[in-house]
Structure 1
């Protein structure tokens, strides 16, 4: 499962790579808004914190691998969650790539496919994957239930840091995003609360 996750993430990065000159807009924004604090933000906020969150989410995988034995119902359920989560990520990423490649969509936001039901279906897939790993571990090592802090930290990182930062920018760069935000669930795949402009 983890190998598949790593390969998918790496391929996604390769496909979207824009060259050595490219820098994520979030890094530029954080640097420009806080030049004096940039070294601390860079080390702790950009490098250390996400690394620790992923490490915490990986702990259940370690204990699951160390305790590999007879398959249990929970292990199978967890594996199914991981597979569904990976498919969700692949499909949503593919839809976004196709949308961005169309010159007619420049300056617009995607509102079709999975993005009609969730503003961030790719993040939903990422969060769900780590919950799947945790559920798999429970099937092998139920005594390690307290490692739940790992999969809990992952959605918190997205909901309270990554998504608000991204959507603050989208509200200023994408006309109609405010209406889309009001109508569409942040993470969960839910029916739109009202009709939105089709992409």
Structure 2
């Protein structure tokens, strides 16, 4: 297990260092978003090659499908934008690049390694509770659907002419949660954790990994940070009043004026 954990840490360190170099070259810290999905795939591949438990191949598929889809989606968005993400622009306003190295690249690298601990542990742990593996795959699939469909619906909304489309995206999954993609991400990693938990109580020790991922998605670099920018857009505060921020819920009824 120690070999898998150390090799995973080394892979993440190399990948994030390379990402920092690219970000410095193009003066866009947001490239780290593309590395986020790809990094987990690299870790899962390392675990599959160095581990010995059969479930490691299932986890490689689960992480690979999720991570490569996210990498492709994020990279396409970055290439189309050509600008820094407002979240990072606000976070790093007036600060040197060294601040980004510690606050963004180092932080996300450590988070990536920590969140992927269930994959690392499961790679060397024989499955004991198959039913938990099945439950985990179902939760993962729900998350993948939320993330994929949510991203597709948002992309379709953005393709509409600005003068004729609604002020905010509040259709489809976005009617029930303001961040279906982030909710989907959380479900994906709780599902992966459940698959690892099928190996017994040793998997229980990694419960903080999906909890940390959920924290990042809700409070750190995800929903809360994005909300600061979105609340300045016309119509968004009203949308926020009637729509759950994270967990999908029926829209709240608005009082009749």
TM-score above 0.5, yes or no: yes
Structure 1 position 141 matched with structure 2 position 195: no
Q: Secondary structure at the match of 1:145?
A: helix
Structure 1 position 24 matched with structure 2 position 82: no
1:153 is aligned to 212
RMSD: 2.2
- CA offset at residue 19 of structure 1? 5.2
Alpha-carbon contact 1:118-1:187 (below 8 Å) kept: yes
- CA offset at residue 151 of structure 1? 0.6
- For residues 166 and 249 of structure 2, the distance between their equivalents in structure 1, rounded to whole angstroms, comes to 25
2:22 is aligned to none
- For residues 85 and 51 of structure 1, the distance between their equivalents in structure 2, rounded to whole angstroms, comes to 23
1:95 is aligned to 153
Instruction: Give the structure, 1 or 2, with the largest relative contact order (CA under 8 Å, sep 6 or more).
Output: 1
Unaligned runs of 5+ in 1: none
Structure 1 position 180 matched with structure 2 position 180: no
Alpha-carbon contact 1:80-1:132 (below 8 Å) kept: yes
What TM-score results when the alignment is normalised by the length of structure 1?
0.87
Structure 1 position 171 matched with structure 2 position 203: no
- CA offset at residue 107 of structure 1? 8.5
Candidates 132, 135, 142, aligned match of 1:84:
142
Report how many residues are paired.
192
What TM-score results when the alignment is normalised by the length of structure 2?
0.68
- For residues 90 and 84 of structure 1, the distance between their equivalents in structure 2, rounded to whole angstroms, comes to 10
